[in-house]
Structure 1
Amino acid sequence: MILSLPWFTDDMDTKQCSLWMFLPLVMSLFTTIGLWIVYVIAVEDQKIFPLTLDRPVPLKRPPYISVAGDAPPASCVFSQVMNMAAFLALIIAVLRFIQLKPKTVSPWLSISGLAAFCLTSFGMTLLGNFQLRSNELIHNFGTSVTFGFGTIACWIQSILTFKINIKNEGIKTGIPRVLLSATITICVIIYFIFEWKKLNIYAPRVQWVLVMCFITFFATLAVEFRHCRFEIICIENQQHQEILNSMSENMSDISEYQTDQL
Structure 2
Amino acid sequence: MLAPVFLCLSLRKPGSKSPPYISIAGDAPPASCVFSQVMNMAAFLALVVAVLRFIQLKPKALNPWLNVSGLIALCLASFGMTLLGNFQLSSDEEIHNVGTSLTFGFGTLACWIQAALTLKINLKNEGRKAGIPRVVLSATITLCVVLYFILMIQGIHMHAARIQWGLVMCFLCYFGTFAVEFRHYRFEIICSEYQENFLSFSESPSEASEYQTDQV
Percent identical among aligned pairs is 66
Query: Counterpart in 1 of 2:95?
Result: 138
Query: Counterpart in 2 of 1:220?
Result: 177
- For residues 114 and 153 of structure 1, the distance between their equivalents in structure 2, rounded to whole angstroms, comes to 8
1:134 and 1:103, CA in 2 relative to 1: closer, same or farther beyond 3 A?
A: same
1:231 and 1:248, CA in 2 relative to 1: closer, same or farther beyond 3 A?
A: farther
Residue type of the partner of 2:72? A
1:57 and 1:92, CA in 2 relative to 1: closer, same or farther beyond 3 A?
A: farther
Query: Counterpart in 2 of 1:122?
Result: 79
Query: Counterpart in 2 of 1:176?
Result: 133
Q: 1:203 aligns with which of 117, 138, 160?
A: 160
Within the alignment, does 1:60 sit opposite 2:17 as a pair?
yes
Residue type of the partner of 1:203? A
Query: Counterpart in 1 of 2:4?
Result: none
Stretches of structure 2 that go unaligned for 5 or more consecutive residues are: 1-8
Q: TM-score, normalised by structure 1?
A: 0.72
Residue type of the partner of 1:111? V
1:95 and 1:240, CA in 2 relative to 1: closer, same or farther beyond 3 A?
A: farther
Query: Counterpart in 2 of 1:97?
Result: 54
What RMSD, in angstroms, separates the aligned Cα atoms of the two structures?
2.2
Q: 2:109 aligns with which of 143, 152, 155?
A: 152
**When you count strand as a share of all residues, which structure comes out higher?**
1
- For residues 81 and 208 of structure 2, the distance between their equivalents in structure 1, rounded to whole angstroms, comes to 35
Query: Counterpart in 2 of 1:81?
Result: 38
Cα displacement (A) at 1:233: 1.8
Write the deviation string for residues 123-167 of structure 1: whole angstroms up to 9, x where unpaired: 000000000000010001100000000000000000000011011
Q: 1:191 aligns with which of 148, 154, 168?
A: 148
Query: Counterpart in 2 of 1:242?
Result: 199
DSSP 3-state at the match of 2:61: coil
Write the deviation string for residues 209-243 of structure 1: whole angstroms up to 9, x where unpaired: 11100111001001000000001222222355336
DSSP 3-state at the match of 1:237: coil
Stretches of structure 1 that go unaligned for 5 or more consecutive residues are: 1-47, 49-55, 256-262
Residue type of the partner of 1:141? V
Q: TM-score, normalised by structure 2?
A: 0.86
- For residues 76 and 209 of structure 2, the distance between their equivalents in structure 1, rounded to whole angstroms, comes to 32
Residue type of the partner of 2:163? V
Cα displacement (A) at 1:200: 1.0
Cα displacement (A) at 1:57: 9.8
- Total equivalences in the alignment: 199
1:57 and 1:150, CA in 2 relative to 1: closer, same or farther beyond 3 A?
A: farther
- For residues 223 and 57 of structure 1, the distance between their equivalents in structure 2, rounded to whole angstroms, comes to 50
- For residues 208 and 46 of structure 2, the distance between their equivalents in structure 1, rounded to whole angstroms, comes to 27
Residue type of the partner of 2:57? L
